[in-house]
Amino acid sequence: MPPRKIIIDTDPGQDDALAILLALASPDDLDLLGIVAVAGNATLPQTQRNIRVICEVANRRDVKCFAGSDKPMSRPLLTAEHVHGATGLDGIDLPEPTMPLQPQHGVDFIIDMLRSHEADTVTLCPLGPLTNIATAMARAPDIIPCIQEIVLMGGAYFEVGNITPAAEFNIYVDPEAADIVFRSGVKLTVVPLDVTHKVLTTKTRIDAFRAFRTHLGDVVVAWLDFFERFDVQKYGSDGGPLHDPCVIAWLLEPHLFSGRFINVEIETQSPLTLGMTVADWWGVTDRTRNAMFLKDIHADGFYALLTDRLSRL
Burial grade of 244 (CB within 10 A; 0-12, 13-18, 19 or more): buried
Edge-to-edge strand list for the sheet holding 65-67: 65-67, 30-37, 4-10, 122-126, 147-153, 188-191, 291-297, 257-262
Burial grade of 90 (CB within 10 A; 0-12, 13-18, 19 or more): middle
Residue 32, beta-bridge partner list? 6
Burial grade of 204 (CB within 10 A; 0-12, 13-18, 19 or more): exposed
Catalytic one of 82, 197, 243, 298: 243
CB-side exposure of 267: number of CA atoms within 13 Å? Answer: 20
Burial grade of 185 (CB within 10 A; 0-12, 13-18, 19 or more): exposed
Amino acid at 223: W
Q: Is 243 a catalytic residue?
A: yes
User: Whose CA is closest to 111, among 87, 85, 142?
Assistant: 142
106 vs 68: CA distance, rounded Å: 4
The one-character DSSP state at 188 is: E
DSSP secondary structure letters along 49-85: HHHHHHHHHTT-TTS-EEE--SS-SSS-----HHHH-
Q: Is the peptide bond before 259 cis (omega within 30 degrees of 0)?
A: no
Q: Phi/psi at 18 (nearest 5 deg)? A: -70, -30
Query: What length does the chain have?
Result: 313
Burial grade of 270 (CB within 10 A; 0-12, 13-18, 19 or more): exposed
Residues with catalytic roles: 243
